[in-house]
């Protein structure tokens, strides 16, 4: 590579966002991961919003059965992602695990189109928990660190690059539900399952041809071959708890905001989707901005701000009494997503000095699998859907607790978090 390409990594000035953006699209490694994430999100996005409708309408199941469909998948995701993270950290190869996860997800979604049994659907959808979302981000971190060590990447561009990649995932989720809705009308629920499963197989083919393993440093190999120390186990547990507290809010918003809009504010179902669309559109703007700011001022500051905004969002949601107020709240919530699903990944990866990237990434991200159970518990404690205001307040307090934990972790791990490369 030319010397000019190495200048940003060796100079003290942060490279311009245009140069980093151009690098992400020009570089084969970055571009391959970006397209992989888009394919995964497109395949998921065209199916996930319609799964509960399929259970109730196509399988004649109850609302409780439709909600429970996601529980086994979440539990499988936790076990599989943590096991995959630990294993790929040890062998320093992630491509095989990504391929296996994509094939399993393709079998899971495609197989749903062949069944009319709820029990079989439950088992098949549980397999989708093997989808390699966290492992792909671990591979991205390997790529960033490898390029930084070779002088091909600026050491303080990691958050911007990570959030740019996460933006591709958001874009897939923006397009996916629209495509899925159009396909449902033309080929039915079973048809979109086949299309979604096929996209996962396309993603597996893309991963096989284009993704590259990047972690080859001997020093890292020695680090990940030893057993976890007790403080490291505690750190992983704290990262999981932070994720659980934050994702409880994210999943709670998805589960209960439609109920709040239709039952409390008497909004029609057709306008409910607007609230969610505003957030996804905002993600496309806020994700790269949050990453850029994090590279300049540090990931802890941006993540803490995002968590504080999440707390204020839920406190405001519980106090809102008009549809337009709720719509306005969805715009800053896009920054919450940028912080908790973008910058927070960099925070988790840097918490252990860049060691055990797969395990730290998984420990944070897979907590999303248990978040719906937290929401159900909070709902029961609040005496049902009629007390959604109390539930939103509880989710605001949950975000406050996550903020305390993030500040606690950063107090002891700040040097490695702020300079993970």
Six-digit token string for 420: 């993970």
**Are 411 and 268 within one domain?**
yes
CATH of the domain at 354: 1.20.1250.20
CA dihedral (60, 67, 282, 32) positive or negative: negative
Residue pointed to by tokens 């199916």: 47
Statement to judge: residues 263 and 132 lie in one domain? no
pLDDT of residue 9: 43
Residue 118 sits in the same domain as residue 180: yes
On whether the CB atoms of residues 247 and 368 are closer than 8 A, the answer is: yes
- The DSSP symbol for 46 reads T
Evaluate the CA torsion angle 401, 89, 289, 157 in order and state its sign. positive
* One domain, residues 194 and 263: no
152 in the same domain as 253: no
If asked whether residues 219 and 307 sit together in one domain, one would say: no
Spell out the long-range contacts of 219-225 with Cβ–Cβ below 8 A and sequence spacing 24 or more.
220/92, 220/354, 220/355, 221/92, 223/355, 223/356, 224/89, 224/90, 224/92, 224/355, 224/356, 225/90
Provide the residue-wise pLDDT of the chain in tens; the chain has 421 residues: 333 334 444 445 667 777 777 777 888 999 999 999 999 999 998 998 788 789 888 899 886 787 788 889 988 998 999 999 989 988 889 999 999 999 999 999 999 999 999 999 999 999 999 999 999 999 998 998 888 877 766 666 788 889 989 899 988 988 888 888 888 888 999 999 999 999 999 999 999 999 999 764 444 555 555 678 888 899 999 999 999 999 999 888 877 787 788 777 777 755 666 777 788 888 888 998 999 899 888 899 999 999 999 999 999 998 888 888 988 999 999 999 999 988 999 898 888 766 688 888 888 988 888 887 888 777 777 655 457 788 899 999 999 999 999 999 998 875 455 554 4
Exposed e or buried b per residue across 65-90, where buried means at least 16 C-beta atoms within 10 angstroms of its C-beta: bbbbbbbbbbbbbbebbbebbbbbbe
Percent helix, percent strand, percent coil in the chain, to nearest 5: 85, 0, 15
Which residue in 233, 201, 232, 250 sits closest to 365, CA to CA?
Answer: 250
Structural domain harbouring 187: 29-226
- Whether 221 and 231 share a structural domain: no
Single out the residue in 183, 201, 226 at which a domain terminates.
Answer: 226
Residue 20 lies inside a defined structural domain of this protein: no
In 46-157, where does DSSP find H-type helix? Answer: 51-53, 63-68, 70-91, 95-112, 118-127, 133-149
The answer to whether the beta carbons of residues 94 and 142 sit under 8 Å apart is yes
Q: Has residue 24 been placed in a domain?
A: no
203, part of any domain: yes
Whether 179 is in a domain gets the answer: yes
Based on the domain organization, do 222 and 256 belong to the same domain? Answer: no
pTM: 0.80
Kindly state whether residues 187 and 38 are assigned to the same domain.
yes
Last residue of a domain, one of 174, 204, 226: 226
Same domain, 221 and 238: no
Identify whether residues 133 and 239 lie together within a single domain: no
Whether 15 maps to a domain, the answer reads: no
Q: Residues 6 or more apart from 52 whose CB is under 8 A from it?
A: 63, 66, 67, 69
pLDDT of residue 256: 79
- Whether 2 maps to a domain, the answer reads no
From 205, 226, 247, give the residue that closes a domain. 226
- Number of structural domains (the chain) is 2
Query: Residue 261 has what pLDDT?
Result: 80
Residues whose CB falls within 8 Å of the CB of residue 255, separated by 6 or more in sequence, listed in order: 67, 372, 375
Residues 129 and 231 in one domain: no
């Amino acid at each position: 590579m030319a010397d000019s390409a190495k200048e940003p990594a060796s100079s003290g000035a942060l490279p311009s966002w245009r140069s980093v953006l151009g690098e992400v699209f020009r570089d084969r490694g970055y571009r391959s991961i970006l397209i992989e994430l888009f394919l995964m999100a497109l395949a998921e996005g065209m199916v996930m919003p319609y799964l509960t409708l399929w259970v109730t309408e196509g399988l004649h199941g109850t609302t409780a059965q439709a909600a429970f469909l996601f529980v086994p998948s979440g539990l499988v995701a936790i076990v599989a992602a943590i096991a995959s993270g630990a294993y790929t950290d040890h062998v320093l190869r992630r491509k095989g695990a990504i391929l296996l996860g994509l094939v399993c997800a393709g079998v899971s979604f495609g197989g749903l189109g062949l069944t009319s049994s709820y029990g079989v659907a439950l088992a098949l959808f549980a397999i989708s928990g093997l989808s390699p979302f966290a492992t792909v981000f671990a591979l991205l971190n390997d790529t960033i660190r490898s390029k930084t060590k070779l002088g091909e990447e600026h050491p303080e561009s990691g958050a911007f690059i990570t959030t740019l990649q996460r933006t591709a995932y958001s874009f897939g989720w923006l397009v996916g539900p629209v495509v899925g809705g159009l396909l449902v009308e033309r080929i039915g629920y079973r048809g979109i399952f086949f299309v979604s499963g096929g996209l996962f197989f396309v993603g597996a083919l893309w991963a096989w041809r284009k993704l590259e393993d990047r972690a080859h440093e001997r020093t890292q190999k020695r680090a990940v071959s030893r057993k976890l120390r007790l403080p490291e186990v505690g750190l992983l547990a704290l990262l999981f708890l932070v994720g659980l507290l934050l994702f409880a809010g994210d999943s709670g918003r998805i589960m209960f905001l439609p109920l709040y809009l239709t039952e409390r504010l008497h909004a029609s179902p057709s306008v409910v989707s607007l609230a969610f669309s505003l957030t996804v559109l905002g993600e496309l703007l806020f994700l790269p901005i949050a990453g850029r700011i994090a590279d300049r001022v540090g990931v802890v500051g941006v993540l803490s701000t995002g968590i504080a905004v999440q707390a204020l969002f839920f406190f405001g949601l519980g106090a809102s009494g008009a549809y337009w107020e709720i719509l306005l709240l969805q715009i800053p919530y896009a920054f919450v997503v940028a912080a908790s699903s973008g910058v927070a990944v960099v925070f988790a990866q840097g918490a252990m000095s860049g060691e055990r990237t797969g395990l730290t990434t998984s420990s944070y991200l897979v907590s999303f699998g248990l978040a719906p159970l937290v929401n159900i518990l909070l709902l029961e404690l609040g005496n049902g859907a009629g007390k959604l205001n109390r539930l939103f307040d509880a989710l605001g307090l949950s975000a406050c607790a996550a903020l305390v934990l993030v500040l606690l972790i950063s107090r002891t791990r700040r040097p490695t978090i702020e300079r993970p490369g």
